[in-house]
């Protein structure tokens, strides 16, 4: 039994279809985000320089000195489940977030100097 070139390439659509679907998913996700979808009231903080020993609870405790912490989370490597050295903190108010930047930026947590800055969310698309 012989195969012609045309039929071989016509039936080989599987190799291109996953790439097309992932691209279209990516495009649709980025297009669906516009400035009205993104809410950034100014109370979200980006924290870097974290020790691998720091937990979500340690981060929350450190920031609660300046106000009410709504959420504190360390970003973990998905495979090793170890800290990637940065995290996010959401304070109750913008004023409390500003106090955290003023008093906790360049502070020491678990023996490491951390940096604290406002999280800038931008709309893609």
Q: What is the mean pLDDT of the chain?
A: 79
Residue 104 lies in a domain: yes
Residue 39 lies in a domain: no
Provide the sign of the torsion angle of the four alpha carbons 71, 62, 110, 103, taken in this order.
positive
Task: List b or e across 59-81, with b for residues whose CB sees 16 or more CB atoms inside 10 angstroms.
Answer: beebbeebbebeebebeeeeeee
Residue 110 lies in a domain: yes
Task: List b or e across 9-30, with b for residues whose CB sees 16 or more CB atoms inside 10 angstroms.
Answer: eeeeeeeeeeeeeeeeeeeeee
Residue 113 lies in a domain: yes
Residue 5 lies in a domain: no
Structure confidence by residue, pLDDT tens digits, 85-107: 999 999 999 999 999 999 999 99
Q: What is the CATH number of the domain that holds 71?
A: 3.30.70.330
Structure confidence by residue, pLDDT tens digits, 29-84: 334 444 445 566 899 999 999 999 999 999 999 999 999 999 999 999 999 999 99
Looking at the 3D structure of the chain, how many domains does it have? 1
Q: Which two tokens stand for residue 94?
A: 């913008």
pTM for the structure as a whole: 0.67
Residue 21 lies in a domain: no
Residue 35 lies in a domain: no
| In contact, 76 and 84? CB cutoff 8 Å | yes
Structural domain that includes position 56: 44-118
Residue 26 lies in a domain: no
């Amino acid at each position: 039994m012989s195969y012609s070139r045309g039929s071989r390439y016509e039936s080989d659509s599987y190799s291109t279809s996953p790439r097309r679907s992932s691209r279209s998913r990516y495009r649709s996700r980025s297009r669906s985000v516009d400035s009205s979808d993104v809410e950034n009231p100014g109370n979200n903080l980006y924290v870097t320089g974290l020790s691998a020993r720091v937990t979500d609870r340690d981060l929350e405790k450190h920031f609660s000195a300046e106000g009410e912490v709504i959420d504190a989370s360390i970003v973990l490597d998905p495979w090793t489940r170890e800290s990637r050295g940065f995290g996010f903190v959401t304070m109750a108010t913008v004023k409390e977030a500003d106090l955290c930047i003023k008093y906790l930026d360049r502070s020491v947590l678990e023996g490491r100097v951390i940096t604290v800055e406002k999280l800038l969310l931008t709309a893609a698309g």
